[in-house]
């Protein structure tokens, strides 16, 4: 069951926005609504976020992503549609009921940190708890723990202005963590940081997410960031969600020209993983079998390579047609394993890490799942095709 769901959300700015919703449902365009003085920011957005997921909303400025994230915690009330958190329809809540949901279920990290300059780091981290009415000693203890989690132990007495941008955003993150909500909204949280610090923060976020099992909705305009962080990515354009999928789905199967153009500059080697491009092994041969059987399989099915596995499907190596033919000719009884094929890669290894390995060998790379069993193989041709910018048909030949 999703923790968070958005159902046909609309947000239109202007006078009497309701009429804009009707018009859009009847097929009016954004430009037509603009002419009437209405600005549709979010149009018919629906998605579900599962517990523990990092859901990234990706779009350029003006695509409506910031409005969308503010609808999740009701900072912008929806013009139409519903936001459902657990079983509660947020769109129906007002005033104190809405504030209670914000205090207990959702916290938020902001692009420009939004810290209180006149309060210390510790007081900033404890802000959400103070709002909840927690006693001073309790909230200080929890804020200290949150600061420790983000690597700012001992900075509680400083003022935010004395910290670098990256550290200030850690305070913003600590403030959100201290509130101990299940859902964390991050609005371009790392966009104002320089690239090195951004990279560290991304790693730290993934690390924290795995430890604390937060459900994160992350807004960004940086596709590489989206692909690094997102379990799933929603691509937004002009207020609409164009596509929702994993990084690989979006790269390899873009739903529209816009998405395809958008992703063409992505460093595919960093985004695509071994699991996404590997071929399922149609035939394998047991390690105890001899060259005759291998030769027969290869000849009958025109194989370029044949993986050799143990009884528990853990791979031993690969045999290649030429070497098998030689072994049969020589009358050998053991399989002529290609020497360098014994090492394997895991499903989630990015292609960038395979390139050096692949260049040094003639046999395909073997991919194993998390139990060490053979999951697939990647011939060099497949690797190169996956890295080229013309996905889909060739990759899944």
Partner 1 sequence: MSTAEESMLPRVRVGDWIDTAFDWIDDNLNILLTLFRDVMTFVVEGLVDLLMSPPPLVMVALFALVAWLVSSWRLALGTALGFALLISMDIWLPSMQTLALVIVATIVAVALAVPLGVLAARNDAVSAVVRPVLDFMQTMPGFVYLIPAVTFFSIGLVPGIFATIIFALPPGVRLTELGIRQVDAETVEAGQAFGASPWQILRGIQMPLAVPTIMAGVNQVIMLALSMAVIAGFTGADGLGKLVVESIARLNTPLGVEAGIGVVILAIFLDRVTSALGNPGRHAGSLLARLRARRTAAGGPQPTTTSEPASGSSSPSTTETSVRAGT
Distance in Å, CB of 195 to partner 1, minimum? 12
Minimum CB distance to partner 1, residue 142 (Å): 14
By CB under 8 A, tell whether 101 contacts partner 1: yes
Task: Give the HSE-up count for residue 101: Cα atoms under 13 Å, Cβ half-sphere.
Answer: 20
Written as one string, the DSSP assignment of 31-78 is HHHHHTT-EEEEEEEEEEE-TT-EEEEE--TTSSHHHHHHHHTTSS--
Rounded to whole angstroms, the Cα distance separating 134 from 257 reads 51
Question: Could you tell me the smallest distance in angstroms from the CB atom of residue 114 to partner 1?
Answer: 4
Nearest-angstrom CA–CA distance, 16 and 332: 84
- Kindly tell me which residue out of 55, 127, 218, 262 binds partner 1, with binding defined by CB under 8 A: 127
Question: Restricting to residues 315-334, which ones interact with partner 1 according to CB under 8 A?
Answer: none
Within positions 136 to 155, which residues make up the interface with partner 1, using CB under 8 A? 148-149, 151-155
Nearer to partner 1, 154 or 322 (CB): 154
Nearer to partner 1, 71 or 377 (CB): 71
Measured from the CB of residue 201, what is the shortest distance to partner 1 in angstroms? 8
Per-residue string for binding with partner 1, 104-123, x by CB under 8 A?
Answer: x-xxx-xxx-xxxxx-----
Q: Which is nearer to partner 1, 22 or 104 (CB)?
A: 104
Stretch that binds partner 1, among 23-31, 47-55, 167-175, 314-322 (CB under 8 A): 167-175
Site size for partner 1, by CB under 8 A? 55
Ramachandran region of residue 259, left (φ > 0), alpha (ψ -120 to 50) or beta?
Answer: alpha
Residues 176-215 contacting partner 1, CB under 8 A: 179, 185, 194, 196-197, 200, 203-204, 207-208, 211
Q: In what order do the strands lie in the sheet with 365-368?
A: 344-346, 365-368, 374-378
One residue of 164, 256, 261, 343 binding partner 1 per CB under 8 A: 164
Among 39, 46, 50, 158, interactor with partner 1 by CB under 8 A = 158
Can you tell me whether residue 370 is helix, strand or coil? coil
* Residue of 65, 142, 175, 221 interacting with partner 1 (CB under 8 A): 175
Residue closer to partner 1 (CB basis): 110 or 258: 110
Q: Are residues 5 and 41 in contact, defined by beta-carbon separation less than 8 angstroms? A: no
Q: Which residues pair with 315 in a beta bridge?
A: 309
Cα–Cα distance measured from residue 289 to residue 327, given in angstroms and rounded to the nearest whole number: 13
Region near partner 1 per CB under 8 A, out of 165-173, 233-241, 331-339, 360-368 = 165-173
Which residue, 193, 187, 264, 223, is CA-closest to 60? 223
Cα–Cα distance for residue pair 2/254, rounded to 1 Å: 24
Contact between 272 and 251 (Cβ < 8 Å): yes
> How, if at all, do strands 4-13 and 80-85 pair?
antiparallel
Query: In b/e form, how buried is each residue of 42-80, taking b as 16+ CB within 10 angstroms?
Result: bbbbebbbeeebbbbbbbeeebbbbbbbbbbbbebebbb
Q: Which of 229, 192, 193, 197 is nearest to 210 (CA)?
A: 229
- Asked if 52 touches partner 1 (CB under 8 A), the answer is no
Query: Residue from 8, 99, 270, 332 that binds partner 1 (CB under 8 A)?
Result: 99
Residue 75 binds partner 1 (CB under 8 A): yes
Q: How far is the CB of 288 from partner 1 (least distance, A)?
A: 46
Site residues for partner 1 per CB under 8 A: 70, 73, 75, 96, 99-104, 106-108, 110-112, 114-118, 127-128, 130-132, 148-149, 151-158, 162-167, 170, 175, 179, 185, 194, 196-197, 200, 203-204, 207-208, 211
């Amino acid at each position: 069951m999703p923790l968070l769901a958005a159902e046909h959300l609309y947000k239109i700015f202007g006078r009497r926005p309701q009429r804009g919703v009707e018009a859009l449902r009847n097929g009016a365009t954004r430009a037509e609504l603009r002419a009437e003085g209405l600005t549709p920011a979010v149009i018919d957005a629906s998605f579900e976020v599962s517990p523990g997921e990092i859901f990234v909303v990706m779009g350029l400025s003006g695509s409506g992503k910031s409005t969308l994230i503010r609808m999740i915690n009701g900072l912008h009330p929806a013009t139409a549609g519903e936001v459902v958190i657990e079983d509660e329809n947020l769109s129906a809540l007002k005033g104190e009921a809405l504030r209670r949901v914000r205090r207990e279920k959702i916290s938020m990290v902001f692009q420009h940190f939004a810290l209180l300059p006149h309060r210390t780091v510790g007081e900033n981290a404890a802000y959400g708890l103070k709002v909840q009415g927690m006693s001073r000693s309790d909230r200080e203890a929890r804020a200290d723990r949150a600061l420790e989690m983000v690597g700012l132990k001992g900075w509680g007495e400083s003022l935010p202005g004395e910290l670098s941008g990256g550290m200030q955003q850690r305070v913003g993150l600590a403030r959100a963590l201290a509130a101990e909500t299940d859902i964390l909204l991050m609005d371009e949280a790392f966009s104002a940081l320089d690239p090195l610090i951004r990279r560290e923060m991304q790693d730290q976020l993934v690390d924290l997410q795995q430890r604390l099992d937060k459900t994160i909705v992350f807004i960004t305009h940086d596709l590489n960031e989206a692909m690094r962080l997102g379990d799933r990515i929603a691509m937004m354009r002009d207020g609409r969600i164009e596509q929702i999928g994993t990084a690989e789905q979006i790269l390899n199967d873009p739903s529209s020209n816009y998405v395809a153009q958008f992703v063409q500059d992505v460093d595919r080697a960093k985004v695509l993983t071994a699991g996404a491009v590997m071929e399922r092994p149609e035939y394998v041969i047991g390690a105890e079998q001899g060259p005759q059987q291998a030769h027969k399989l290869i000849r009958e099915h025109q194989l370029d390579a044949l993986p050799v596995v143990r009884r528990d499907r853990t791979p031993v190596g690969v045999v290649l047609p030429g070497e098998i033919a030689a072994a049969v000719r020589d009358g050998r009884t053991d399989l002529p394993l290609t020497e360098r094929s014994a090492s394997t890669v895991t499903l989630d290894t990015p292609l960038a890490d395979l390139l050096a390995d692949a260049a040094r060998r003639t046999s395909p790379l073997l991919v194993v799942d998390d139990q060490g069993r053979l999951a697939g193989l990647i011939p060099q041709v497949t690797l190169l095709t996956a890295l080229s910018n013309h996905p889909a048909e060739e990759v899944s030949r």
